[in-house]
């Protein structure tokens, strides 16, 4: 499953691609694969203030509904409006077209709570044992 190197990951299978003080956020390829065909994404609203580790979105599939947690604290800058009509983008392109929202994060130190690609890959290997 190649994991993008320029992305940080959570144990709840969210990702954050950080560019300066902004972060693109979504769920990992592992998460979308586990959920199956995604049928709905409930996103936060532009302007919402998020706290790291707290609920911020919902994703539903033919198998289950799952909560999504903020990988970082900050303010939602924009949402991926394409997901309203095309939630399957999450299945097709979890790290690009299937991102959920963009946020301006407020606490640089929180990045230390996230995993890099190598650490996340080791974490996933531990789950499959």
Distance CA 81, CA 90 (A): 12
Per-residue pLDDT tens digits of the chain, which is 129 residues long: 568 888 999 999 999 999 999 999 999 999 999 999 999 999 999 999 999 999 999 999 998 999 999 999 999 999 999 999 999 999 999 999 999 999 999 999 999 999 999 999 999 999 876
For every residue of the chain, DSSP letters joined together read -PPPTT-EE-TTSEEEEEETTEEEEEE-HHHHHHH-SEEEEEPPPTT-EE-TTSEEEEEEESS-EEEEE-SS-EEEEEE-THHHH-TTHHHH-TTTTT--EEEEE--GGGGGGSB-HHHHHHHHHHHT-
* pLDDT attached to residue 5: 85
pLDDT value at residue 128: 76
| CATH of region 8-89+96-122 | 2.40.50.100
With 0.75 as the threshold, say if the pTM is over it: yes
- Residue extents of the structural domains in the chain: 8-89+96-122
């Amino acid at each position: 499953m190649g994991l993008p190197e320029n992305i940080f990951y959570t144990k709840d299978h969210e990702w954050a691609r950080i560019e300066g003080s902004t972060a693109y956020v979504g769920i990992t390829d592992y998460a979308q694969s586990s959920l199956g065909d995604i049928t709905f994404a409930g996103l936060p609203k532009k302007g919402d203030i998020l706290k790291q580790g707290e609920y911020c979105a919902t994703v539903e599939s033919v198998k289950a509904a799952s909560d999504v947690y903020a990988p970082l604290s900050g303010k939602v800058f924009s949402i991926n409006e394409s997901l309203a009509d095309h939630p399957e983008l999450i299945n097709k392109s979890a790290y690009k077209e299937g991102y959920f929202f963009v946020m301006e994060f407020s606490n640089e130190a929180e990045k230390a709570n996230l995993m890099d690609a190598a650490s996340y890959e080791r974490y996933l290997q531990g789950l499959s044992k």
